[in-house]
A = this chain, B = another copy of it.
Amino acid sequence: MWEHSVENSRIILAGAGNLATCLGTALVKAGVTPTAIWSRSEASASALAAKCGCPFTTDINALPDADIVITAVSDDALPHVAGQLAARYSDALLAHTAGSVAMDIWREAGTKHYGVFYPMQTFSKSKEVDFSHVGIFIEACAEEEYLKLEQLANRVSPMVYRATSRQRGYLHIAAVYACNFANAMYSMAYDLLEKEGLPFEVMLPLIDETAAKLHHLSPAEAQTGPARRGDETIMRKQQAMLDGTKSEVYALVSSYIAEKAKNNKQL
């Protein structure tokens, strides 16, 4: 069925959102120009096709033949898109990029060659991502398919790992905490400073250092602050200056930090 190396293989991106845009750009940089882009939205499809220098369509059945099709659509849209792709392609290797969707979705869609290609990163269209620093987690229906996806992944990143659907599910949740929820903490800091007329920029060295510390220390070792020290006086004072969701978050996260510090001391 699949007689080309990744260099010569025909790759289709089904999706033109944040992830597809960053992946498409990275593939082109790595010398792998997609054969075509599909998206439900003509505006998105045409914008990404222009970046990649390849054709696009909004009709899955109008897509050209392919060796590998990578979907990067919302989890809600995935079952329908997977079904349509399975009907259009009988021999191509179909892979999705969703952290929390099991590989089985492809078997259920009725295709033979399938897998998962999950790049764990936060993608925004307006901020180009250096894919060489993105961990990519691969799973496939069989070893042949695994190796093809691994080969493709290695074109854009040296950090390629094998992960089961269960592991990927937890990786995705861990990413929600370490990225989405960490960013929500930045957002709460932004709100507080804005109210006092202070520029958010003053927090950047602190935010950078907090992230950089983890290259040397575990999160438990890197933890600082009133809750870590058990400084009840400050915690009461700060709680009294907060309200709403921020106040609830303060109490809940502080109790997690204090509990964790107690357990670490007991070890």
Interface residues of A (CB under 8 A from B): 18, 74-76, 100, 120-124, 126-127, 129, 133-135, 159, 161, 163, 166-167, 169-190, 192-193, 195-198, 200, 202-229, 231, 233-234, 237-238, 241-242, 245-246, 248-250, 252-253, 255-257, 259-260
Contacts and interface: CB of A to CB of B under 8 A. Distances in A.
A183 to B, nearest CB: 5
Q: Main SS of the interface on chain A?
A: helix
A170 B183 contact: no
A138 to B, nearest CB: 13
Q: Report which residue of A163, A173, A208, A233 has the largest number of chain B beta carbons within 10 angstroms of its beta carbon.
A: A173
B179 A225 contact: yes
27 contacts: A75-B231, A75-B234, A76-B233, A100-B237, A120-B206, A121-B206, A124-B217, A127-B213, A127-B216, A133-B208, A135-B205, A169-B241, A170-B192, A170-B241, A174-B198, A176-B238, A177-B188, A178-B186, A178-B207, A179-B206, A180-B224, A180-B226, A181-B188, A182-B186, A182-B210, A190-B220, A208-B211
A17 to B, nearest CB: 10
Given A122-B210, A176-B225, A202 B257 contact: no
Contacts of A174: 188-190, 192-193, 198, 203
A216 to B, nearest CB: 6
A248 B193 CA distance: 26
Contacts of A222: 122, 124, 127, 183, 186
Contact of A207 (B214, B233, B234): B214
